[in-house]
């Protein structure tokens, strides 16, 4: 685990790092100097100091000032023609100029560019180039003025000296500031195969050109055209790779070009050393500016394409989301319309039932009462005891008829209001209980023959009360509409696949075929004998619907009726 220094020492560390890097880069600059002239083809400390103050902050400027002072003292100290006071003054003014150059660059980046990495957009890149030209002028002006005051340069040579120093500072910034800032950027290390191959081709070409140039294989024409041959390769780096790879290629090509030129080799050699250096500086400036601008343009275009891609993805997601919302809304509306349709249908059905109910109440409820009242009046007038018993029997039948009708209405009301209740069903006791209750609920006096066959090996769950209502109505119909002899009722029950298959067969009168499709209607009677209310099979059908079951009736007049029930088990 790395040891982190205390926070109070971090500013001091910044100063030391800035001073050390400035000094070392100055040594590199002196190493690349031309022998015939005091000017330098590039001044690396300008670019390194500019990058350091952007990365480390304004508090690092003392380190830049210290490094600049030491570097300049060592540079001028071997000049025996100047007194020591003059050397110190020149070194101090030059260090001051170089420090002001760095601080002015920091100020312009913060105020004008407003981005510590000005190579994301082409606009900011051009601003960076303008800043490099401007701040180099600040440092060069101060150092040239100090040389003029101390008599090192004359009024005839100060302009040439200042221009050479300005170009040297600009080249240093163009080469080293983008390289350091790009190196400091956070990036994911990944090496796609195609990029690795392209990088290998570029390195191979550069090594090949270096070896051919070193062995003297090229003639003078090819040597003079080398700068033009390098430009496509460098632009290729800027177009296919990021700024770090592109500026690394530019830096490598520039350092190699400077080295060969000071060795008096290459296309930049002129009769005068100053002209050779100026031609070299122009080449370095052209390739560095072109590479930086193209790299920024490619990066900006890539960011724009990425933003457009993300916008399209978000747009597609939004469209899908909105489409799903519309689909859900349409489905909800359809569901609401379907529910409304069912509600209207149910309401219409209930209205019809209400009309029928009002009619039945006015007829079926009043008829037994009117019959009872009439029989009572007859009994009062008739003194014959035998007839009184006849009247009482008829009164009893009317009361039973009315009681049966009221019970059927109550069953229908409870079936429509109560929720389905899940209970374990044992069909054998349920059927026995229903038959036993019918003994006391009817006045037919008929002896009912029951033939019951039940196949129930496991548990079955349903609504016991509703099953009893169904069986009660079917059994009572079989008894009520017997065919002149004692009724025989056969009941077969089989439980399989979570369903109860119930078959009830009697030997009664039967139902004519033309009435079979209407027997489930409320108050519909298939016969005119007035024995029933017309609610029995209607209640059976409504109750089966509550249990989500199926009912089927087969009947033949004079032979009997068979009712098949398919009742699913409640989950």
Q: What is the pLDDT of residue 177?
A: 94
Residue of higher predicted confidence among 199 and 470: 470
Q: What is the pLDDT of residue 110?
A: 92
Residue 29, pLDDT > 60, answer: yes
The tens digit of pLDDT for each residue in 432-482 reads 888 887 775 555 556 788 899 999 888 889 888 888 888 888 888 888 888
Q: What is the mean pLDDT of residues 52-63?
A: 91
Residue 488, pLDDT > 70, answer: yes
Residue 111, pLDDT > 90, answer: yes
Separation CA 275–CA 337 (nearest Å): 91
Residue 413, pLDDT > 80, answer: no
Would you say how long the chain is, in residues?
A: 571
Q: What is the pLDDT of residue 401?
A: 60
Q: What is the pLDDT of residue 2?
A: 45
With residues binned 3-state (H G I as helix, E B as strand, rest as coil), the percentages for the chain, rounded to 5, are 70, 10, 25
**Helix spans in 444-557 (H):** 464-480, 513-516, 536-546
Question: Contact at 8 Å (CB) between 136 and 144?
Answer: no
The tens digit of pLDDT for each residue in 523-551 reads 666 665 555 566 777 778 888 888 888 99
Q: What is the pLDDT of residue 405?
A: 60
Q: What is the pLDDT of residue 66?
A: 93
β-pairing verdict for 449-455 and 488-496: parallel
Residue of higher predicted confidence among 39 and 320: 320
Q: Which fold has domain 420-568?
A: Heat Shock Protein 90 (3.30.565)
Percent of the chain with pLDDT over 90: 20
Name the pLDDT band for 3 (thresholds 50, 70, 90): very low
Q: What beta strand segments (E) does 411-463 contain?
A: 423-424, 449-455, 461-462
Q: What is the pLDDT of residue 1?
A: 43
Separation CA 474–CA 392 (nearest Å): 29
Q: What is the pLDDT of residue 104?
A: 94
**H/E stretch holding 446:** none
Q: What is the pLDDT of residue 559?
A: 87
Q: For the chain, what are the domain ranges?
A: 1-187, 420-568
Q: What is the pLDDT of residue 135?
A: 94
The single residue listed with the structure tokens 């026995």 is 432
Helix 464-480 with 536-546: angle, nearest 10 deg: 160
Percent of the chain with pLDDT over 70: 80
Q: Which of 25-34, 165-174, 348-357 has the highest mean pLDDT?
A: 165-174
Q: What is the pLDDT of residue 6?
A: 53
The CATH number of domain 1-187, selected from 1.10.1760, 3.30.930, 1.10.3470, 1.10.730: 1.10.1760
Q: CB under 8 Å to 297, separation ≥6 — which residues? A: 122
Residue of higher predicted confidence among 181 and 530: 181
Residue 277, pLDDT > 60, answer: yes
Residue 36, pLDDT > 50, answer: yes
Question: Contact at 8 Å (CB) between 557 and 542?
Answer: no
Residue of higher predicted confidence among 358 and 55: 55
Residue 108, pLDDT > 90, answer: yes
**H/E stretch holding 318:** helix 273-360
The tens digit of pLDDT for each residue in 248-258 reads 889 988 888 88
Q: Residue 569: which of 430, 474, 463 has the closest Cα?
A: 463
Q: What is the pLDDT of residue 362?
A: 54
CA atoms within 13 A on the CB side of 564: 7
Separation CA 448–CA 435 (nearest Å): 9
Residue 301, pLDDT > 80, answer: yes
Instruction: Tell me the two tokens of residue 346.
Output: 């149910």
**H/E stretch holding 348:** helix 273-360
The tens digit of pLDDT for each residue in 223-269 reads 677 777 778 888 888 888 888 888 988 998 888 888 888 888 778 88
Residue 9, pLDDT > 60, answer: no
Fold match between domain 1-187 and domain 420-568: no
For the stretch 460-469, what's the b/e string if a residue is b when 16 or more beta carbons lie within 10 angstroms of its beta carbon? bebbbbbbbb
Residue 370, pLDDT > 80, answer: no
Separation CA 90–CA 92 (nearest Å): 5
The tens digit of pLDDT for each residue in 308-367 reads 888 888 888 888 888 888 888 898 888 888 888 888 887 887 677 666 565 555 555 555
Q: What is the mean pLDDT of the chain?
A: 81
Q: What is the mean pLDDT of residues 77-96?
A: 79
Q: Which of 11-15, 187-191, 212-216, 552-556 has the lowest mean pLDDT?
A: 212-216
Q: Residue 480: which of 408, 383, 566 has the closest Cα?
A: 408
**Helix spans in 150-192 (H):** 158-184
Q: Residue 479: which of 557, 412, 560 has the closest Cα?
A: 560
Q: What is the mean pLDDT of residues 107-136?
A: 92
Q: What is the pLDDT of residue 191?
A: 63
Question: Contact at 8 Å (CB) between 309 and 132?
Answer: no
Helices and strands per DSSP (H, E), number in the chain: 16, 7
- The Cα-based distances of 29 to 25, 41, 44, 320 in angstroms read 6, 8, 6, 61
Name the pLDDT band for 102 (thresholds 50, 70, 90): very high
């Amino acid at each position: 685990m790395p040891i982190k220094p205390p926070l109070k020492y971090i500013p001091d560390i910044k100063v030391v790092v800035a001073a050390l890097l400035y000094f070392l880069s100055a040594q590199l600059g002196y190493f690349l100097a031309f022998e015939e002239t005091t000017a330098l083809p590039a001044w690396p400390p300008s670019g390194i100091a500019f990058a350091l103050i952007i990365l480390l902050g304004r508090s690092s400027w003392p380190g830049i000032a210290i490094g600049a002072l030491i570097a300049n003292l060592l540079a001028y100290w071997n000049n025996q023609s100047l007194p020591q006071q003059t050397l110190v003054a020149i070194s101090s003014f030059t260090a001051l100029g170089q420090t002001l150059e760095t601080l002015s660059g920091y100020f312009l980046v913060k105020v004008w560019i407003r981005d510590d990495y000005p190579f994301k957009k082409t606009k900011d890149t051009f601003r960076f180039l303008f800043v490099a030209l401007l701040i180099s002028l600040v440092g060069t002006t101060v150092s040239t003025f100090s040389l003029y005051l101390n008599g090192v340069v004359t009024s005839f040579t100060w302009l040439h000296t200042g221009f050479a120093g300005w170009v040297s500072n600009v080249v240093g910034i163009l080469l080293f500031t983008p390289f350091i800032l790009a190196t400091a950027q956070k990036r994911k290390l990944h090496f796609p195969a195609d990029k690795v191959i392209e990088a290998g081709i570029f390195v191979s070409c550069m090594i090949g050109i270096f070896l051919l140039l070193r062995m003297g294989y090229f003639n003078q024409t090819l040597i003079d055209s080398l700068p033009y041959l390098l430009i496509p390769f460098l632009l290729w780096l800027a177009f296919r790779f990021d700024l770090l790879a592109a500026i690394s290629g530019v830096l490598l090509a520039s350092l190699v070009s400077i080295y060969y030129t000071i060795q008096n080799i290459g296309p930049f050699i002129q009769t005068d050393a100053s002209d050779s250096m100026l031609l070299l500086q122009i080449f370095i400036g052209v390739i560095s500016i072109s590479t930086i601008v193209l790299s920024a343009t490619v990066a900006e275009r890539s960011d724009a394409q990425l933003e457009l891609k993300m916008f399209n993805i978000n747009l597609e997601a939004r469209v899908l989301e909105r489409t799903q919302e519309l689909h859900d809304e349409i489905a909800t509306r359809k569901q609401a319309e379907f529910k409304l349709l069912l509600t209207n249908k149910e309401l219409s059905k209930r209205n019809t039932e209400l009309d029928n109910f009002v009619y039945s109440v006015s007829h079926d409820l009043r008829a037994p009462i009117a019959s009872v009242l009439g029989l009572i009046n007859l009994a009062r007038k008739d003194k014959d005891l035998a007839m009184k018993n006849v009247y009482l029997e008829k009164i009893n039948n009317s009361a039973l008829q009315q009681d049966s009708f009221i019970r059927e209405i109550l069953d229908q009301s409870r079936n429509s209001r109560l929720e389905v209740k899940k209970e374990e069903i044992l069909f054998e006791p349920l059927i026995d209980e229903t038959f036993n209750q019918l003994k006391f609920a009817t006045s037919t006096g008929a002896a009912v023959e029951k033939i019951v066959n039940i196949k129930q090996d496991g548990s079955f769950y349903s609504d016991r009360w509703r099953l009893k209502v169904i069986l009660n109505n079917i059994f009572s119909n079989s008894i009520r509409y017997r065919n002149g002899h004692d009724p025989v009722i056969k009941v077969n029950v089989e439980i399989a696949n979570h369903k109860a298959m119930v078959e009830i067969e009697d030997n009664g009168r039967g139902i004519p075929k033309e009435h079979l499709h209407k027997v489930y209607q409320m108050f519909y009677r298939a016969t005119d004998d007035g024995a029933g209310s017309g609610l029995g099979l209607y209640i059976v059908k409504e109750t089966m619907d509550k249990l989500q079951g199926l009912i089927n009736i087969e009947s033949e007049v004079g032979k009997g009726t068979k009712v098949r029930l398919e009742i699913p088990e409640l989950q």
